[in-house]
Amino acid sequence: MFKNPAFLPVFLLILLAMIWGTSFILIKQGLQVFPPDEVGALRVTAACLFMLPYSLTQIRDLEWKDHMKLLASGLMGVFIPAFLFATAQTKLPSAVTGILNTLSPLFTMLSGALLFGVVFRGYAILGVLIGLCGTTILMLTGSGSELFGVHWFGLLVVLACGLYGSNLNFIKYKINHLKPMTISSVSLLWIGPLAATYLFGFSDFLPRMQTHEGALNAMGFIVLLGCMSTAIAGSLFTLLVKLKGPLYSSSVTYLMPVVAVLWGVMDGEQLLPGHLVGMVLIIGGVWVANIKTS
């Protein structure tokens, strides 16, 4: 099936949706033991170590300006969002976080227009407005009886989506000459030491590992998150960006909420009508924004 070049982007979309849709439940499991800063730092550190054998083979062929751009890409696309998502999920159900992440294509469009001169066409503005309406409803719908209990933490996910969208355009327009694996691995090589320094030098990660009964299992969930959702999926996503462009690639978020919601429901999370309305509006806004007009 991989001999058909048209099938590869579709396969990558489905695979990425399954991997990334599972990310939010893995974060939730890690937060059972570790605070969000340690979850974020361990996730980045694990991803860096996983990609280290390959990234070390790539650094010799890169110019200094490429390294600086890869550092910027790593900060926008991995490092900062890892901490934002973990912090948001201390108050947000994993399913709701997965739904909010659907905003990434809209921010890809906005950042492309604001930072890279991409022109809005057709239904793009209407789609953005619909998506923002869905976001507002979603963030004003709390979990259980707390109607307004989580909306400020939802803004952290919105910020992370803005960084994701900006990074997609940055890859497309600033470092498109580099191979996908080079982009993902070397960007992790730059940010990994920052995360590891914080994790082992400034947090309580090591004492917690020695004293908390469930620490080993929780660490396993976060390491799996870093290796699969950050390292492997990041490489596959960079390949997809190069094959089909940033807007098509970010549409993986059409499918991610379905996976995230299924995991959340299986884990006993309660979804209110407002959550479902917000999800429909956000996905609908992304769809409208992608309608092609002559």
pLDDT score recorded for residue 131: 83
- 175 CB neighbour count, 10 Å cutoff: 20
Closest CA to 224 of 20, 9, 71, 17: 20
User: In whole angstroms, what is the distance from residue 134 CA to residue 290 CA?
Assistant: 17
Locate 73 and state its tokens: 């890409």
DSSP 91: T
**Residue 101 neighbours by CB under 8 Å, 6+ apart:** 20, 24, 157, 160, 161, 253, 256, 257, 260
The structure tokens listed for 143 are 């979990």
- Per-10-residue mean pLDDT of the chain, 294 residues long, equals 67 89 95 97 97 92 94 97 96 87 84 83 79 80 49 87 92 89 93 98 96 95 94 84 73 80 89 84 81 60
| Per-residue pLDDT at 294 | 46
The amino acid occupying position 166 is S
pLDDT of residue 56: 94
| Residue pair 242/77 in contact by the 8 Å Cβ criterion | no
Which residues are CB-neighbours of 277 under 8 A, at least 6 positions away?
134, 137
CA-to-CA separations, 49 to 173, 175, 248, 261, in angstroms, rounded: 28, 23, 30, 30
- Which pLDDT value is given to residue 151? 64
Instruction: Count CA within 13 A, CB hemisphere, residue 102.
Output: 34
